[in-house]
Structure 1
Amino acid sequence: MCGIVGYVGRHNGVPVLLEGLQRLEYRGYDSAGVAVVNGDQLRVHKAEGRVRDLAEGLPKRVNGHVGIAHTRWATHGPPSDVNSHPHLDTEGNIAVVHNGILENAAALRAELEADGVTFTSDTDTEVLAHLIGRSTHEDLEDAVRDALAKVGGTYGLAVIDARQPDRIVVARNGSPVVLGIGNREMFVASDVAALVRHTQQVVLLDDGELATLTADGFTTSTLDRRPTQKETLELDADVSSYDKGGYDHFLRKEIADQPTAVEGTLRGRLDHRFATAHLGGIELTARELRGIRRVKILGCGSAYYSGIVGANIIESLARLPADAEPASEFRYRNPVIDPDTLYLAVSQSGETFDTLAAVQEVQRKGGRVLGVVNVVGSSIARACEGGVYIHAGPEISVASTKAFTSTAVAFALIALHIGRVRDLSPADGERLIGGLERLPEQLEEIMATEEHIARVAGRFSDATSAFFIGRVGGYPVALEGAQKLKEVSYVHAEAYPASELKHGPLALVTTDLPTVVVAPDDHLAAKNISAIEQIKARGGPVVAVGHRVLSELADDTLIVPKNEPELDPILLGVPLQLLAYHAALVLGRDVDQPRNLAKSVTVE
């Protein structure tokens, strides 16, 4: 993995490929490469580092009407020029770019080496290049089919052949592949972000499908040669959605986008007349909703933490047992799937491999699963029986901010929807609607305190570690706050329930270890104050996040406007996003592309 771009058409494809790679930089990567057919030869250029390093090293006159390009996030072999994609066969005719992991690559590599093949890289992808190059089929599409019949694992791939310079062959199994339709030109990418400048018409490949692209169009089929019919989708996005909008970083822009993103999540879904939420993607009758006995939320990383926020809201409003679990662990413990449980799969990209696999595990055992995703038409959205799009808009920075907040809002809508069918009173329904409608304005109020938050962030520039603690609704806020700090600043951070402070973590509190305490003015305020007192008694610096200044206790307080108790966690997390961002700036980090991380984790 991590990013694929391809072009076939009348124009020089190199600028298209480079621009596409730049638009995929947000996904996280360590090297980049490009291959184009020039005459009857492949021209291949690869470089460890950024896309700009690749572009600066390209010969001025390199060109070709057919080409593929890639940004790599290392899985097999360290980042290097040699391990960068594209990879070639022995004859130098075939070039392959690949996202995913080939699980039987080691065995295939051993077989090929025993047959005299010399490998030049450590990657699993090079196995594919040699398998395609050694196929007895002359047609590129058939040679790719032949190779894919031998491999196991996940792939999104694009292949070109210098001997057939009018086409690109692509295939998908577990890793996204999107075709873009132009005017006598075709595009391919792993993400629509690479395509929006050139086309608004796209086709999404399904797992087990292969496509051949020429300048005049495309054909699709299954791996066993059965033709498939594909629907053309119109993108609901424009180029400006993928720009920084005057900000220095996508991360800062997306934090600022949150009032608008929340409005997008709420738009058309609040019903004052019946004090409920209308969610067209949840096609469950009132009887089916009343028959739900439990809610299980599955997600990874920030999606999992938003799931904990959501489980708390659902349990509080709908009075259903609800919990969240990492999707990456769920399917490996042979879970018992209860037909009376509603499963919710959460993913910003809709392509998170572990979450998609969890969806398939639930469905395989007869369970019902709905999606809560941001990207329309994504794999998880299509795999689920229905669900809720969060409509937060494109999120480019690797660290999630607006998608986290909008997802939590979507869970509040789900809780309201289910709760009103069950026992939630109209008065409580209207109370929640009022709170949801206040969120955008309150988010703006938080943004206005950024200067103070930036000053507080300065203390983290000297810290090597930090604690984040909170109780009940504050605990997932602490989890996400710690996640943001370590993601973008590389300061080690851990989150604990505040109630667990005395059960181990307190031993590490010193004058050099700051603690961020999520301390809203709620029924647990006295207990949170007690936790602060215990930390201060040991000389630990404290930053409180809450509704009132705790100057007599905390060293600093990040003030958040008060909403309804169920919705307060949605607001409490936003100052921690700004705290992490400004700490990263002080430390000189690459906030949009943190090391070792990718935006969409499409492998295990």
Structure 2
Amino acid sequence: MCGIFGYVNYLVEKSRGEIVDTLLTGLDRLEYRGYDSSGFAVDADKRNENYVIREVGKVSELRKLVQEAHMDMSKRFSTHVGIAHNRWATHGQPSRTNAHPHRSDPGAEFLVVHNGNITNYRELKSLLESKGYAFETETDTECIAKLAKYVYDTNKGRLDFTELLKLILVEIEGSYGILVKSSHYPGEVIAARNGSPLLVGIKSERKLKVDFVDVEFPDINVEAVADNVTHEFNPRLVLPRGNGLGLPDGSNSLMVPGLNNDLRHSQSRAFISDDGMPIPTEFFLASDLAAVVEQTKKVIFLEDDDIAHIYDGGLHIHRVRREEGMSSIRSIQTIEMELQQIRKGNFDHFMLKEIFEQPESIVNTMRGRVNFENRTVKLGGLSNYISAIRRSRRIVMIACGTSYHSCLATRDLFEELTDIPISVEIASYFLDRRPPLFRDDTCIFVSQSGETADTILALKYCIERGAMCVGVVNAVGSGISRQTLCGVHINAGPEIGVASTKAYTSQYITLVMIALSLSEDRLSKQSRRNEIIDGLGKISAQLQEVLGLNDRIQAVSETLVDKLKMLILGRGYQYATALEGALKIKEISYILAEGILTGELKHGPLALVDADIPIIMIATKDKLFDKIINGIGQVTARSGKPIFIASQNGPTLVEGKKKENGSVETKAELQSAETSYVRFEVPETVDCLQGLLNIVILQIFGYWLAVKKGYNPDHPRNLAKAVTTE
């Protein structure tokens, strides 16, 4: 949801054309997150002026606008700051005016790009308007730009960039990832995050002296300074307070002293050369690793409340306050993502590519963790905490969307292997209820991006109540991975398509591995555990076999293109498969697909069944097979013509009917009748793993339905890959 990108070149000479191309390429890599408009800002030819170009639609439309802008693309810069943004509308309609970057005034003294949601923007806007500031947009982001100018002007330019932003952030409520560029601070950019991801990529011609950046703490917390209105600092700043603008003595403003300027000239150890000469360096600021992977492999993941200030070839990380136990460094990490992982290759869409990557991605999920010879499972991220989790009063799984379905798909197995009560929660509903939690509860948070806003808020709620918190994520360095006590990385690789496919199967297998680890000491469960581990050893080859049905699924999908609704029925382990399959179909083909528990047919859904509505019934063999056959009978008796997902060489699914003379159809007649139903056969595996194979049929169905209807499955309307706002 939205995407931030910034580029700083220090003593690395670049033409304006190269700088703009770097910014637009960064936006290209962020397209998959979802957006409706985009824009960027670079230095203009005259000092203290900027070119700001914004457009509605795809980044390709922004490129066209660049060609029409008549900028001198050959002009060269030894040091330059550019910022860019893909917007997904939350406040205000998609338009050029509402697209980022936003400016503080007609002269664009401050330019801001922002991900997140400023919850007190109406109060800030009202107060700034009372001070004479005119707003141009409907967005919350513009308040940040206007507030920056207000703080700067009130202090007569005597604050450095970091101090300026600190005072702004004290007044802002909500979530944000922001970049700020200013003509008052040429060659500098400042970034901050709170609840919205942000990272800094580093590319240097020389090896950095250390693999970390020091965190610089203030001698006095900004809030303490802001609240102490009698403290004699100069200059004094007039600002509204962030606590609902509750002001003393009926006044309409609060006197807030500025901060002193002691830290401005501190040096960052990582960027000091042995000979004392400046190190030519490039910095890439982004909300997602995908935007920097082709530029550098060295990155720093910013923490909540970090302020990153880049100037004079150095990166400085500041905090508004010092908290107990807080790390005093930010490590420079080497990422393993490769450029080809975020390219489509020979596939028409990322979604199809990622569907076909699943035989490999699930192997990567298990690599180094499952020993098939010894039938053991070892999860390094949980090894020190397994005993504590086993002693839990209960386990609560919390997630959203597809991740929620992966939890549902494995809940039964957790209960069977651990004998611990398991509950599965949708994060937003969990937050609405705020249920009781206890210190001996374990909460497992599942998220592909690791930045899902509702899931992170639920995580904070659980941390406050002392529960043990475990993360299951795909994104290295994500918020959930940093805030949980322990966890498991699913190793699915980058997933670009908005509709999750390979992340689902890797989450599924990761949760199965956690259940296997928790039950390792249960002698009574060893036979079952061995059966599951043996099944995991075969699952990749079986998935490859299912992918061979692609052409046939494509052909069948053509008969369903004109349908407006669809039912998908599953039972037991396959109920989660039905829900996930329905989600895949509805989110990319816009067919109103509903996943239904087969056992609930008689409690309402059976009223929808007739000869016209498409029905997909999951009927693979397991302990509930007889009940599934009963459900099939209920559907076919009402003229339903289900499409079956069945086990290879499995039994007949359609029951024999009595003829008018009272006799029952012969076996030959029955087999002949069943051939009139579409049936996709998948390999048979352990019941708790069967959903890994069955879901692929539905993923492919969703893909081809979208394509046949003329929709882009990688970019479904109104949806974003990472939902980083509530």
TM-score range, shorter chain: over 0.9
Residue 530 (structure 1) shift: 2.1
Q: Which residue in the other structure is 1:300 paired with?
A: 400
Kindly provide the amino acid, as one letter, of the partner of residue 702 in structure 2: A
With over 3 angstroms needed to count, the CA separation of the structure-2 counterparts of 1:27 and 1:483, relative to structure 1, is same
CA distance in 2 between partners of 1:397 and 1:214 (Å): 36
After superposition, what is the alpha-carbon deviation per residue over 1:175-229, rounded to whole angstroms, capped at 9, x for unaligned? Answer: 0010011121111000010001111000011101101123612100112499952
Match of 1:48 among 53, 56, 63: 56
- 1:101 matched to which residue of 2? 117
Aligned to 1:199, the other structure's residue is in SS state coil
Is the CA contact (8 Å cut-off) linking 2:389 and 2:442 kept in structure 1? Answer: no
- Indicate conservation of the 8 Å contact 2:488/2:510, yes or no: yes
Match of 1:36 among 36, 42, 51: 42
For the residues of structure 1 that align with 2:492 and 2:202, how far apart are their CA atoms? 25
**2:245 aligned residue:** none
CA contact (8 A) 1:318 1:424 kept: no
What does residue 699 of structure 2 align with? 577
Letter of the aligned partner of 2:116 in structure 1?
A: G
Report deviation, 1:239.
Answer: 0.9
Match of 2:659 in 1: none
Moved more, 50-59 or 159-168: 159-168
Question: Is the alpha carbon distance of 1:424 and 1:171 closer, same or farther for their aligned partners in structure 2, counting shifts above 3 Å?
Answer: farther
**Higher deviation after alignment, 45-54 or 223-232:** 223-232
Q: More displaced, 3-12 or 503-512?
A: 503-512
1:131-154 C-alpha deviation (Å, 9 max, x unpaired): 011113433322222221111000
Conserved 8 A contact 1:477-1:572:
yes
Match of 1:567 among 684, 689, 705: 689
Aligned to 1:511: 611
Give distance in 2, aligned partners of 1:431 and 1:133: 66
1:77 aligns to 2:86 (yes or no): no
| Counterpart Cα distance in 2 of 1:40 and 1:424 | 74
The 1:31/1:573 distance shift into structure 2, 3 A limit, reads same
SS in 1 for 2:460: helix
Task: Give secondary structure in 1 for the equivalent of 2:361.
Answer: helix
Q: Say whether the 8 Å CA contact 2:118–2:175 is kept in structure 1.
A: yes
> 1:528: how far off?
1.6
Which residue of 551, 565, 590 maps to 1:451? 551
Aligned residue among 98, 111, 116 for 2:132: 116
Report the alpha carbon displacement of residue 289 of structure 1 after superposing the two structures with TM.
Answer: 4.2
Q: CA deviation at 1:268?
A: 1.0
| Cα distance, 1:287 vs structure 2 | 4.2
Deviations 1:507-550 (A, max 9, x none): 12233321111111112222222222222232333111121474
The match for 2:725 is 603
How far does the alpha carbon of each residue in 1:30-87 deviate from its partner, in whole angstroms, 9 at most, with x for none?
A: 0001111224201101011000001111125355731100001110011111111110
Other-structure match for 1:494: 594
Of 572, 575, 580 in structure 2, the residue corresponding to residue 472 of structure 1 is: 572
Work out which of the residue numbers 231, 235, 255 in structure 1 matches 2:335: 235
Q: How does 1:263-274 map to 2 (within 5 A)?
A: 263-272=363-372
**Cα displacement (A) at 1:163:** 2.8
Matched, 1:521 2:621: yes
Q: Tell me the secondary structure at the aligned position of residue 526 of structure 1.
A: helix
Q: Which deviates the most, 432-441 or 52-61?
A: 52-61
Separation in structure 1 between the aligned mates of residue 132 and residue 34 of structure 2, nearest angstrom: 35
Structure-1 residue corresponding to 2:21: 15
Shift of 1:165: 2.0
The equivalent position to 2:531 in structure 1, one of 412, 431, 439, is 431
Q: Residue 423 of structure 1: CA displacement? A: 4.3
> Aligned-pair distance for 1:273?
6.2
- In percent, how many aligned pairs have the same letter? 39
Q: Aligned equivalents of 2:124 and 2:641: distance in 1?
A: 55
1:89 equivalent in structure 2: 104
CA-CA distance at 1:484 after TM superposition: 0.2
Aligned AA (1:156): G
Question: Match of 1:354?
Answer: 454
Cα distance in 2, alignment partners of residues 285 and 54 from structure 1: 50
Q: How does 1:157-172 map to 2 (within 5 A)?
A: 157-172=178-193
3-state DSSP of counterpart to 1:304: helix
- Structure 1 match to 2:714: 592
* 1:427, distance to aligned residue in structure 2 (A): 3.0
Residues 162 and 326 (structure 1), Cα distance of their counterparts in 2 relative to 1, 3 Å cut: same
* Residue pair 2:372, 2:534 contacting (<8 A) in 1 also: no
- C-alpha RMSD of matched pairs (Å): 1.8
CA contact (8 A) 2:410 2:688 kept: no
Distance across 2 between alignment mates of 1:447 and 1:275: 27
Q: Deviations over 1:221-269 (max 9, x none)?
A: 1124999521101011111111112111100000011011000011011
1:574 and 1:69, CA in 2 relative to 1: closer, same or farther beyond 3 A?
same
Whether the 8 Å contact between 1:290 and 1:422 is mirrored in structure 2 is no
1:5 aligns with 2:5: yes
Structure 1 residues 522-541: aligned runs within 5 Å: 522-541=622-641
Q: Distance in 2 between matches of 1:541 and 1:49?
A: 41
Change (3 A) 1:202 1:450: same
1:108-257 matches, cutoff 5 A: 108-135=124-151, 136-137=154-155, 138=157, 139-183=160-204, 184-214=281-311, 216-224=313-321, 228-257=328-357
Give the structure 1 partner of residue 215 of structure 2: none
Kept in 2: contact 1:36–1:43 (CA 8 A): yes
Structure 1 residue matching 2:416: 3-state secondary structure: helix
Q: Give the Cα–Cα distance (whole angstroms) in 2 for the partners of residues 269 and 238 of structure 1.
A: 23
**Partners of 2:599 and 2:518 in 1: CA distance:** 30
Name the CA shift for 1:79/1:365 in 2 (closer, same or farther; >3 Å).
same
What letter matches 1:97 in structure 2?
V
C-alpha distance 273-529 of structure 1, shift in aligned 2 (>3 A): closer
2:391 is aligned with 1:385: no
What SS class does the counterpart of residue 174 from structure 2 fall into? Answer: coil
Report the alpha carbon displacement of residue 387 of structure 1 after superposing the two structures with TM. Answer: 1.0
| Aligned counterpart in structure 1 of residue 416 of structure 2, from 299, 311, 316 | 316
Matched residue SS, 1:148: helix
TM-score by length of 1: 0.97
Once residues 634 and 686 of structure 2 are traced to their aligned partners in structure 1, the CA distance between those partners, rounded to angstroms, is: 29
Distance between the aligned counterparts of 1:283 and 1:564, measured in 2? 26
- Contact 2:567 2:615 survives alignment (8 Å): yes
Cα deviation 1:402-434 (Å, max 9, x = unaligned): 000010001111111111223454333222111
Q: In 2, are the aligned partners of 1:3 and 1:72 still within 8 Å (CA)?
A: yes
Aligned position for 2:668:
none
Q: Which amino acid aligns with 1:4?
A: I
Moved more, 222-231 or 358-367: 222-231
- For the pair shown, which has the larger CA radius of gyration, 1 or 2? 2
- 1:52 counterpart SS class: helix
Distance 2:399 2:331 in 1: 28
Q: Name the CA shift for 1:417/1:245 in 2 (closer, same or farther; >3 Å).
A: same
Tell me how far apart the structure 1 counterparts of residues 611 and 528 of structure 2 sit (CA, whole Å): 45
Shift of 1:459: 2.7
Deviations for 1:455-501, whole angstroms, at most 9, x for unmatched residues? Answer: 12123211101111111211100000000001111111111211111
Distance, in Å, in 2 between the alignment partners of 1:393 and 1:232 is 21
Amino acid at match of 1:2: C
Alignment check: 8 A CA contact 1:319 1:419 kept: no
In structure 2, what is the Cα distance between the partners aligned to 1:188 and 1:284? 35
Aligned residues: 604
> Cα offset for 1:378?
0.9
The more displaced of 307-316 and 195-204 is 307-316
CA distance in 1, matches of 2:393, 2:411: 13
Contact preservation (8 Å) 1:295, 1:311? no
User: 1:261–1:391: 8 Å Cα contact kept in structure 2?
Assistant: yes
